[in-house]
Structure 1
Amino acid sequence: MLVYILGVVLFALGICVSVALHEAGHMLTAKAFGMKVRRYFVGFGPTIFSFRRGETEYGLKAIPLGGFCDIAGMTALDEVTPDEAPRAMYRYKTWKRTVVLSAGSVTHFILGFIVLYLMAITMGLPNLTSKPVVSEVSECVRGGATAAEVNDPVCQPGDPAPAKVAGLLAGDEVVAVGGQNITSWSQLLVAVQNSSGPTDITVLRDGQRTTLNVDVPQVTRPVQGGGTEQVGAIGVAPASLLPYGPVAALGGTAVFTGDLLAETWQRLLEFPERIPAVVESIFGAERDPNTPVSVVGASRIGGEAVEQGLWEVFLFLLASLNFFIGIFNLLPLLPLDGGHIAVTWYERVRDWLRKLRGKVPGGPVDYSKLNAVTAVIVVIGGAVVLLTVTADIVNPIRLAP
């Protein structure tokens, strides 16, 4: 239980650090462009301590959930003093304001990349595409009428060991079986099951293609629904994690990050249609593991991952959450940063059109006219948070033991 609590605290701390660095991204880019940053605080609520360095006040609040960066003149509604006016954010060029507003999300992307890179060089990246990489070579291949007989780890005299005898090694990537190209573990499984006797299996080992001759035996395996069948088997297990060296990990992490960002965007598009399942789970329905989770739910999963020693799950979840927050924050909806970016570019396009018609710039957008839309989005967002938190408390998603 103590390990679980430690895992929950560590994951929650990771989220808090991520959000604090999000605000630091805004602050550093704003300062770099010469905008005035009044305050940078970690957390919300009563102030525990603060100090001033230069023109900026830094501090820590009592509730360490996020933080804020107060940039003078972020919107036209923001009151600025006469000395702040020349450096008010709304006076800066569109591209500079866009950089400052997007810096928070970019920080999440960088953090996610760093977490994945550390995973790659220490334990490997998740094999999400089912790449046909061998993680383990069995001492023998067992046949049997039940799963228990097949998975019995004790080898009997005469049990064949085709992969071991042929020289397959952990880390080999199978690229061909019997001349048939292989790109996924499912293809490898089908090709081996349909093979019998001496079969050429080509693997990629240390960047070099090597062809091994494997004597594939036909063994008895149970069939779903009852009965048995004879299939080929060689005694290898798939890799759930793909290891990388320090240099190769840069490219591998970059590709994996791109795939994960695309997957995150797809999940975000599916977000609304999964909300009904969250509501149903609150009232007793089985919780779909693909339904959205709150920070509470993610922290609970992180705690279970640490409790079970699954640090790769802990780190992968932390990286995924950073990517989700980064993408979500760029949606063109107020009060998200993406909403402010949308308004900024609306001003730019509007003034360009006005210039074509010989008119002067229209000035900053009056945010008060957008208050109703913003309020609706805040209410909807608050309702979604309340639903997911409730579901994560009464019917949480759990890791399989």
Structure 2
Amino acid sequence: MAHVAGIVLFALGIGLTIALHEAGHMYTARAFGMRVRRFSIGFGPKVAAFKRGDTEYSLAALPVGGFCDIAGMTAQDELSAEEAPHAMYAKPAWQRIVVLSGGVAVNVMLGFAILVGVGLNAGLPDPHADVRARVGETMCTADVLADGSLAPCQGAGPAAVAGVRPGDIITAVNGEPVADFVELRERILTMPGQTVTLGIERQGSQLELPVLVDAVERPSSPGGPAVDVGSIGVASAPVDVMVQHDWSTVVPATAAFSWDMAKSTVEAIIKLPAKVPGVVAAVFGSERADDSPMSVVGASRVGGELVERSLWPAFFMMLASLNYFLALFNLIPLPPFDGGHIAVVIYEKIRDAIRRLRGRPALGPADYRGLMPVTYVMAALLMGFGALVILADVVNPIRLFG
């Protein structure tokens, strides 16, 4: 029951995020005397709609975003005589940029506010925490069963036989540095049956220990055949990376954490096209990568897992991350993104400034008809990618807990 409640809560959080993004456009547009024709959550056929004043509010069938239709967003927009005085394209450039960035600003503020709340109640990750691969205990190596549990095993594992002790920090594998336990695990998984040299830091001293990596079996995917992977029989020591804050420290801590989150989000957006083949493969049964893109369906499912285990800080941090992603994704300088429209306004100002320097008159609003092919291609790619990720989230979802 808690799992279902978590799914519903996160889905509502996504819906609220989208609604507030579009509200950022709508209210700034109205503040500058622009006419908002339609405010929609979702795309495609209308599920429900009502009209209040000059604006139609609607819920559409495809929950992959939303839009705010402002009269005269381009000079090619057809306008009624009543709408003409409120056309967006006729407003000063700075007002148009404020309106176009209104949704992004709302998402940044909302994400920041959520993280402030998390920082005050549960704490935020400490950017200076020591997350190196510190050994908590050594153990025997065991096969992973189909249900995710470990098969019985006995005796000392390869790491213990080689002389690895609890408290040691594993700094390198075969001379190549490892940043944390996750990187160590991923490296060892690919080396079954090999002898590797572990770089060890022990009480300030540097050691090198040769370790024969055991080959153990684990399922290649949920319900898939077993494959051999490497294991050396070590478990990580607990790492306390969370720091709780009060009002005197939470704002700068949130700003620092938000900056790190923004950098990670930009890197993820840049890598997004390269992840498409992996999503396609996941649809046809391949193992789904942990960092695979997720749709609203997959994110809501993960939110359900977090609520089921009462991991509320992680739930809200994921919601904050979604807001930052939506803000930065919308700044891509191509139509139909907000960043694409902002880029056109900036282009108009630069173009007209150059013309004035040459003694020529300004040309006014840009002709968007030349950008329509780019807009259609980008819209088609977005819809296709969204449908693909939703399908992957249905047939092969990401699971945080097995």
1:208-265 Cα deviation digits (max 9, x unpaired): xxxxxxxxxxxxxxx8848xxxxxxxx9842142211133111111110011001100
DSSP-derived class of the 2:341 partner:
helix
- Judged with a 3 Å threshold, the aligned counterparts in structure 2 of structure 1 residues 258 and 34 are, in CA distance, closer, same or farther, namely same
Correspondence for 2:175: none
CA distance in 1, matches of 2:386, 2:71: 30
The answer to whether the 8 Å contact 1:126/1:240 transfers is: yes
1:302-355 Cα deviation digits (max 9, x unpaired): 111111221122111111111111101110111111111111111111111222
CA distance in 1, matches of 2:338, 2:309: 37
The answer to whether the 8 Å contact 1:132/1:185 transfers is: no
- Judged with a 3 Å threshold, the aligned counterparts in structure 2 of structure 1 residues 145 and 317 are, in CA distance, closer, same or farther, namely closer
CA distance in 2, matches of 1:344, 1:308: 47
Correspondence for 1:131: 129
The answer to whether the 8 Å contact 2:298/2:398 transfers is: yes
Shift of 1:299: 1.0
CA distance in 2, matches of 1:26, 1:324: 17
Correspondence for 1:266: 267
Equivalences for 1:29-108 in 2 at 5 Å? 29-42=28-41, 45-46=45-46, 48=48, 50-53=50-53, 56-57=54-55, 59-61=57-59, 63=61, 65=63, 66-108=65-107
Shift of 1:383: 2.0
Shift of 1:62: 6.0
Correspondence for 1:11: 10
The answer to whether the 8 Å contact 2:3/2:307 transfers is: yes
Correspondence for 1:330: 331
1:364 aligns with 2:365: yes
The answer to whether the 8 Å contact 2:6/2:306 transfers is: yes
The answer to whether the 8 Å contact 1:131/1:185 transfers is: no
Shift of 1:70: 2.8
Correspondence for 1:218: none
- Judged with a 3 Å threshold, the aligned counterparts in structure 2 of structure 1 residues 144 and 77 are, in CA distance, closer, same or farther, namely closer
What amino acid is the match of 1:194?
Answer: Q
Report which stretch shifted further, 325-334 or 365-374.
365-374
Correspondence for 1:349: 350
What amino acid is the match of 1:333?
Answer: L
The answer to whether the 8 Å contact 1:282/1:391 transfers is: yes
- Aligned mate of 1:194, from 203, 211, 220: 203
Shift of 1:22: 0.6
Shift of 1:71: 1.9
Equivalences for 1:108-123 in 2 at 5 Å? 108-123=107-122
Shift of 1:102: 0.7
Equivalences for 1:214-229 in 2 at 5 Å? 225=213
Correspondence for 1:136: none
CA distance in 2, matches of 1:351, 1:324: 33
Shift of 1:109: 0.9
CA distance in 1, matches of 2:124, 2:268: 20
Report which stretch shifted further, 118-127 or 36-45.
36-45
* RMSD of aligned alpha carbons: 3.5
1:118-162 Cα deviation digits (max 9, x unpaired): 1111111234x46149xxxxxxxx98765999xxxxxxxxxxxx9
- Judged with a 3 Å threshold, the aligned counterparts in structure 2 of structure 1 residues 241 and 224 are, in CA distance, closer, same or farther, namely farther
Q: TM-score, normalised by structure 1?
A: 0.72
Q: Percent of counterpart pairs with the same letter?
A: 43
Query: Across the two proteins, how many residue pairs are aligned to each other?
Result: 328
CA distance in 2, matches of 1:143, 1:366: 66
What amino acid is the match of 2:29?
Answer: A
1:330-388 Cα deviation digits (max 9, x unpaired): 10111111111111111111111222222222122222222111111112222211221
CA distance in 1, matches of 2:62, 2:394: 20
CA distance in 2, matches of 1:383, 1:39: 24
Shift of 1:16: 0.6
CA distance in 1, matches of 2:332, 2:248: 34
What amino acid is the match of 2:125?
Answer: P
The answer to whether the 8 Å contact 2:114/2:320 transfers is: yes
Correspondence for 2:242: 241
The answer to whether the 8 Å contact 2:137/2:237 transfers is: no
What amino acid is the match of 2:129?
Answer: K
Shift of 1:42: 4.7
The answer to whether the 8 Å contact 2:305/2:400 transfers is: yes
Shift of 1:193: 3.7
The answer to whether the 8 Å contact 2:282/2:288 transfers is: yes
CA distance in 2, matches of 1:374, 1:360: 29
CA distance in 2, matches of 1:395, 1:350: 49
Correspondence for 1:138: none
What amino acid is the match of 1:376?
Answer: V
The answer to whether the 8 Å contact 1:23/1:104 transfers is: yes
What amino acid is the match of 2:340?
Answer: G
Shift of 1:83: 3.9
Equivalences for 1:247-258 in 2 at 5 Å? 247-258=248-259
1:316 aligns with 2:317: yes
CA distance in 2, matches of 1:370, 1:243: 49
